[in-house]
Structure 1
């Protein structure tokens, strides 16, 4: 077959089957381009990542917000409040101070199921941390105090075994306190001034710049892959519905045992287990408590108002059972615990 014959056949096919001819040209063109691209890529080394895609969250879109890095407080009041916080003269037997139950080296608590107050009296509930207390919307497990000042005033008689009148009389006999109060407060040593100084000090006990806060601020290297997965599980299981905001909790009330009867299973129910019912008298508030903050939770066991959970993993499993109504795979419990460890911050006070 000569060239003229091939040309005539080519022209014949083009006239008789134009669509097939176009498709054939397209395939030929694609093959040529693929071959050229393959040749260009041959000298290069192709690396396939086995790591999941890193998503940097925007703190504005996250249910948890970072703790402010600085807080403006009166330096003199902070220092005076710190002195009062550690002074055993505020107890009836001169043996117990606020610092006895709220140890700053133990996560702002004392790692006891029940703290021991003045004259050896055992407290009815587990001592919550004093760290980041300024970010709570109510105070004490049953939320009976609406302000930090009200809590300080209300707890002295119960924990310290002394009336405020007696405590103020002790302070007025101490020359160092007389001088300090006269410098800061025009009317010297009074109950409102003592409470104010302690409250200002407690507001200074923020723990900002946790690794998770750094992550929220855009440092995606602050968390490991496992910790990021723990946070994802924390949100997907619904834990974040109660534990959110700046304090990862501390901003709402919730029943302990939304699904399942925790107290019936535990037995030995005490009046303290009734929670907010002891404040309101409403049956709807029985077993309702202020949701605790999870800030620094990894360094402040045991957990719950009754101090029965000794480890994070145990606490997570109990919450899953009675709040979510489902068991969690052990691997997921472990990942959530790893995330919670990233909430440990840096004790820091900024004053002005």
Structure 2
């Protein structure tokens, strides 16, 4: 009589195999295993194409330079606002990391917005625009502030009328667009300029390309912790984020019952009215993150140390040790790049 143990069903073997692989991966990157000051030979493991973060291209994208120049002029043009006081550059200041360093930006007549202005740098790498992802392209994004009564408070008929009265704009548009000054062409020029706003050659990019002296052991340890704790699951790729949606408060609720919710707090739900999208936001890219405080959609967090602690608690369900936070912040500071060949 055959007394050998029964054969396990195939699905059980598959599940057990997957669990084993997960455990092995977690053990490999578990923070307690990682030295706070790793020896320099460890650097070589990052100089390959398998890393979840990839460097930005050193050369700017191949764009129509006429459109870039016109878009830059329009990006700084106050005539886009109803009272001629607000330009795109008012909230997205290129000499301040592409933001205005305010919790909420102010629009025409000093009106206060209800959400933190994200950086315009590297925005061409985002898969959607705005915190709630309501615009699919940079061109669509331009419509938002121009027509928002709190921001620019204008409309395309008014904007076009103003620009048509400026002979320099008539010439510039005619040289590029056969149909001259139109809403579509204004959007196209501004979006083209914004796609030129890439910030390559950060110290971490240099490190990924093989310069082992570009970052310190502490910064390297911070990157290993960044991966080991799981931050990399939402912040990866060339923009280190900006390519997916995620709920704010996966492991522990971020929004407290005694905190009144705003429409901005609703995230994707404000667009879809699907309860599963409540508090779901586009994950921001982390390039130049050291320059773009305050943080989160509500601009409520003034420092990198605080936002790393909050992300650990609410997104990962981990109370991060102070030393680990310090090392992760050190890594994040290596992500500041260059614009036009000059350090930001």
More divergent stretch after superposition (231-240 vs 151-160): 151-160
Aligned-pair CA distance for 1:155: 2.6
CA-to-partner distance for each residue in 1:210-267, whole Å, 9 max, x for gaps? Answer: 0001111111111100000000000000000000011100000000000111111671
CA-to-partner distance for each residue in 1:283-326, whole Å, 9 max, x for gaps? Answer: 00000000001000001100000001100000000000100111
CA-to-partner distance for each residue in 1:256-285, whole Å, 9 max, x for gaps? Answer: 000111111671221210100011110000
- Change in 2 beyond 3 A, CA 1:104/1:265: farther
TM-score (norm. length: structure 2): 0.85
The answer as to 2:63 corresponding to 1:86 is no
User: 67, 90, 106: which one pairs with 2:56?
Assistant: 67
Alpha-carbon distance in 1 for matches of 2:65, 2:179:
19
Tell me the SS of whatever aligns to 1:220. coil
The residue number in structure 2 matching 1:53 is 41
Deviation above 4 Å: which 4+ runs of structure 1?
none
Aligned-pair CA distance for 1:120: 1.4
The residue number in structure 2 matching 1:280 is 272
Tell me the SS of whatever aligns to 2:246. strand
Aligned-pair CA distance for 1:63: 0.5
Aligned-pair CA distance for 1:59: 4.3
Bigger radius of gyration among the two: 1
The residue number in structure 2 matching 1:260 is 252
8 Å contact 1:260–1:322 — kept in the other structure? Answer: yes
Cα RMSD for the two superposed structures: 1.4
Aligned residues: 301
8 Å contact 1:256–1:262 — kept in the other structure? Answer: yes
User: 322, 326, 333: which one pairs with 1:334?
Assistant: 326
User: 138, 148, 160: which one pairs with 1:148?
Assistant: 138
Tell me the SS of whatever aligns to 2:327. helix
8 Å contact 1:90–1:162 — kept in the other structure? Answer: yes
User: 232, 253, 263: which one pairs with 2:224?
Assistant: 232
> Which runs of 5 or more structure 2 residues have no equivalent in the other structure?
1-37
- Change in 2 beyond 3 A, CA 1:59/1:171: farther
> Which runs of 5 or more structure 1 residues have no equivalent in the other structure?
1-49
The residue number in structure 2 matching 1:104 is 94
More divergent stretch after superposition (268-277 vs 230-239): 268-277
More divergent stretch after superposition (265-274 vs 102-111): 265-274
Tell me the SS of whatever aligns to 2:227. helix
TM-score (norm. length: structure 1): 0.83
Aligned-pair CA distance for 1:54: 3.2
